[in-house]
Amino acid sequence: MRRVVILGSTGSIGTQALEVIEANRDRFEVVGLAAGRDRAGMAAQAERFGVAHTALGAAEAEQLVRDVPADVVLNGITGSVGLGPTLAALESGRTLALANKESLIVGADLVTAIAAPGQIVPVDSEHSAIAQALRAGAPSEVGRLVLTASGGPFRGRRREELAAVTPAEALAHPTWDMGRVVTTNSATLVNKGLEVIEAHLLFGVPYDAIDVVVHPQSIVHSMVEFVDGSTLAQASPPDMRLPISLGLDWPHRVAGVGRPLDWTTASTWSFEPLDEAAFPAVALAKRVGRAGGTYPAVFNAANEQAVDAFHEGRIGFLGIVEVIERVVDAHTAPAALTREALADAEQWARRSADAAIAASAQ
């Protein structure tokens, strides 16, 4: 029986995790729940699963992780506020099922320095796919990681065609139902840039050996190329319950959690190179990842400010990545990476992004 703490329990990842657990009560027990603001929703979940320990907000969630005996902590919090709970889970010796990519990206060396081998299990579908494929070979046999991207709602458009797109169009993702920030990040491919940084930190593969390919069907979730020329792909219909279930009980699989592909029906899967002129966020993210230190935190914070500005009509769609790049270019990293330095860098990035947004409107 795996004792599970779910952070972000009322969000998409949290609610789907509870669906997996409810269907497998003989395998999992929920011992703690944390939500961002939805106290009533979390209370209903606690009653349904008989959970005595709950928390509201990131600070309470961090304390909950430290106080409640558990085998696995599923971090489904959105944003860099998930860093504290991530560090608490690792310091407490729990398995960390990580859906909160921002905490790893922003925390970087702070996180990887305290994580034991295998302690972090990725829940993002792309990184779960890579983790599954990597079981087929030794680290020395890995040649390249290939992250797949749906291409979002603007796949195939040239850069000049993106200038006038609206927030409503940016939120019309063809495959996934996500929140405003993540869906917009998918449209700009900022999300894929963050995932490239995450892949480097999780698997130790150099940035030059991490590629992004556009795969509109979202069936192949990512691939690993080995040094002998073989490529292994993990494929399944889009359903986050599959990587969530693996996160809860890695490396064991939960029967019936997802539906298999239907091989009796004809289908076509396509793969396209990424248009980096139209979508420069991935190249910028690689530059930020190589710089390390507080640069990923600055990238992430500037993006959040720019996404809000886009949805409020203060900048255009192309302005999102332009603002991020201006803030990154102006940043100077401190000598040491600490939680305090990260907090200061994020605050500076938000102020700088706001200033860049205001200047662009003049």
Tell me, yes or no, whether 131 and 90 share the same domain. Answer: no
pLDDT band at residue 79 using 50, 70 and 90 as cut-offs: confident
**Is residue 288 assigned to a domain?**
no
Per-residue pLDDT, 166: 92
Given a contact cutoff of 8 angstroms between Cβ atoms, the answer to whether 213 and 273 are in contact is yes
Per-residue pLDDT, 243: 98
Range of the domain at 19: 2-123+240-249
Does residue 182 have a pLDDT over 90? no
Which residue has 């359903």 as its token pair?
A: 239
**Is residue 281 assigned to a domain?**
no
% of the chain beyond a pLDDT of 90: 92
Given a contact cutoff of 8 angstroms between Cβ atoms, the answer to whether 333 and 288 are in contact is no
287-305: pLDDT as tens digits: 999 999 999 999 999 999 9
**Is residue 254 assigned to a domain?**
no
**Is residue 90 assigned to a domain?**
yes
pTM exceeds cut of 0.75: yes
**Is residue 350 assigned to a domain?**
yes
Q: Please name the amino acid found at residue 238.
A: P
Tell me, yes or no, whether 103 and 141 share the same domain. Answer: no
Per-residue pLDDT, 175: 65
Tell me, yes or no, whether 107 and 129 share the same domain. Answer: no
Residue 296 in tokens: 């990923």
Per-residue pLDDT, 254: 97
**Is residue 271 assigned to a domain?**
yes
Does residue 181 have a pLDDT over 90? no
Residues 6+ apart with CB under 8 A from 332: none
Per-residue pLDDT, 177: 59
Tell me, yes or no, whether 45 and 181 share the same domain. Answer: no
Per-residue pLDDT, 178: 63
CATH number at residue 324: 1.10.1740.10
Tell me, yes or no, whether 97 and 185 share the same domain. Answer: no
**Alpha carbons 40 and 38: distance in angstroms, whole number:** 6
Collapsing DSSP states into helix, strand and coil, what is residue 194? helix
How many separate domains does the chain show? 3
Candidates 117, 73, 113, 112; CA nearest to 92 is: 73
Per-residue pLDDT, 361: 73
Arithmetic mean of pLDDT over the chain = 95
The residue-averaged pLDDT of 68-76 equals 97
